[in-house]
Chains A and B, each alone.
Chain A
Amino acid sequence: MLEIKALTRLHIGPISINLAEGEVIAIAGASGSGKSVLLRAIADLDPNEGQIKTQSGVRADMPAPEWRRKVAYLPAESGWWADTVGEHFKAPDDADLASLGLSPEAMSWDVARLSSGERQRLALLRLLEHKPEVLLLDEPTAPLDAENTALFEARVKRCIASGVSVILVTHDPAQATRIADRHYVLEDGQIKEVAHV
């Protein structure tokens, strides 16, 4: 569950929207319309105004790190701070890795030698370790081929089935149709519901 009330950041907002548990919305919009700005603001990564809450409470009432574990943002380009993949995980799960077409050996790989597709799948897995209540996905499958996109979507759908709400920013109308319950377009700082992105 995610309730956003009058969220404002730079030229974006005020935006209000509610997502039920396990509900998915897709947001499209021209590049530069502020889709990433919106997701960063929800994750509280940039200064912003507005009230947001999930089932576990109001954002302003909890420390920002706790909020970000519950409302997990997957940026379009992931960041890595250590040399090997394994250092970025708490307790890597072999079955989880396999579900995204990765072998357990991935934990010993050098981050510098990862393909953009491997980075993206690993970044999703490391985010899911914290059992988020909400996922904010920013063009998540842009670097993935068709096969890995299917694996990625299947993994996200498992989260949705367990009650995770998702905001999906995507350029791919087919993907929006496959995953999202409602569709929006971000334009002039406001989101408008549309039949189809």
Chain B
Amino acid sequence: MSEYVELSYFDIALASVFLLLNGALSLWLRLGIARNLAFAMVRMVVQLLLVGLLLKSLFAIQSPWLTLLVALFMVGFAAREIWARQERRLKGWRGLAIGGTSMGASAGVVALVALIVLVQPEPWWHPRFALPLLGMIMGNAMTGVSLSLDTLHTALNREQRAIEAQLLLGADKWHAMRPFIRQAMRAGFMPSINAMAAIGVVSLPGMMTGQILSGVDPNEAVKYQLMVMFLIAGATGIAVILATLGSARALSDDRDRLRIDRLRKAKK
């Protein structure tokens, strides 16, 4: 029943006509984004072509170590992205490490369980399964963690006086920071909740659409999508909780002080 329609490079060039039209319009309207648009477009083309080549050779070589190396590279890149998306960051190595390890560990564990217990490809680490799964899970965990850390750091900085007022009245650090820890965790959970609420009605998720386009039965595609959504939401929640608690701990000390001095504002 599979009826996969192959695209030619000419088809792709044709598809870009609308975006090129956007570029022309933005020049005409002097939106000042033509250069950014062109750069982003070229970057996308180059990145995707390269990743296509990379995946193709990875599938051909079938090395577990090479797969692991690529996975680690993805984690490192996502960790840097979490760091970059915060307006106020923890100084030093912890600025990168807390968000990165929370996201990497929870996405990694969830992806491992999915591969070994659920999908069970042969071998279980086959890059055709491992890398896309990890990528989908980690992409969402990355968004959640960066939102929650950004919220936490902004709130602690803004509410320093209120938090210290509680500390001065004999509250411990967790009690004094609790409302802001909760606020940060909620911010990290929101994208997952919103995505689950709108899925299938407002948005048809990319993975499912892709499977359907390549000829997979919609029921089967839906099953895959459900599994992926559960994994994504679960991993994101764990990552958000770990990162928020870790960062709150790093922004206080064992004498129940608030250590705003450990934050640095990002240079614009």
Which A residues fall within an 8 A CB radius of B? 43-47, 63-66, 68-69, 72-73, 75, 77-81, 123, 126-127, 130
Known: A44-B255, A45-B167. 9 other contacts (CB 8 A): A43-B168, A46-B257, A65-B167, A65-B172, A66-B170, A68-B167, A78-B165, A79-B160, A123-B165
Interface contact tally, CB-CB below 8 A: 60
Q: Does B87 contact A (CB under 8 A)?
A: no
A106 → chain B, closest Cβ, in Å? 17
CA distance A69 to B253 in the complex (A): 18
Pairs across A and B, CB under 8 Å, 15 listed: A45-B257, A46-B257, A47-B253, A63-B256, A64-B255, A65-B170, A69-B169, A75-B168, A78-B165, A79-B161, A79-B162, A81-B162, A81-B165, A81-B166, A130-B170
B132 → chain A, closest Cβ, in Å? 45
Interface size (B, Cβ < 8 Å)?
20
* Contact call A68/B163, Cβ cutoff below 8 A: no
CA distance A173 to B149 in the complex (A): 47
Which B residues fall within an 8 A CB radius of A? 159-172, 176, 179, 253, 255-257
* Smallest CB gap from A70: residue in B: B170
Kindly name the residue among B159, B160, B168, B255 whose own CB sees the greatest number of chain A CB atoms within 10 A.
Answer: B168
Of the residues B160, B168, B256, contact of A127 by C-beta under 8 Å: B168
B81 → chain A, closest Cβ, in Å? 32
* Contact call B161/A77, Cβ cutoff below 8 A: yes
* Contact call B253/A65, Cβ cutoff below 8 A: no
Closest 10 CB pairs of A and B: A79-B165, A79-B161, A69-B170, A81-B162, A64-B256, A64-B255, A79-B162, A65-B170, A65-B172, A73-B168
B253 → chain A, closest Cβ, in Å? 7
Question: Which residues of chain A are within 8 angstroms of B172 by Cβ–Cβ distance?
Answer: 63, 65
Question: Which residues of chain A are within 8 angstroms of B159 by Cβ–Cβ distance?
Answer: 81
Question: Which residues of chain B are within 8 angstroms of A64 by Cβ–Cβ distance?
Answer: 167, 255-257
CA distance A44 to B162 in the complex (A): 17
Of the residues A45, A63, A77, contact of B168 by C-beta under 8 Å: A45
CA distance A37 to B59 in the complex (A): 62
Question: Which residues of chain B are within 8 angstroms of A127 by Cβ–Cβ distance?
Answer: 168-169
Question: Given known contacts A47-B257, A65-B256, is B165 in contact with A72 (CB within 8 Å)?
Answer: no
* Contact call B163/A79, Cβ cutoff below 8 A: yes
Of the residues B160, B161, B169, B255, contact of A130 by C-beta under 8 Å: B169
Question: Which residues of chain A are within 8 angstroms of B179 by Cβ–Cβ distance?
Answer: 81
* Smallest CB gap from A46: residue in B: B257
Kindly name the residue among A64, A65, A72 whose own CB sees the greatest number of chain B CB atoms within 10 A.
Answer: A65
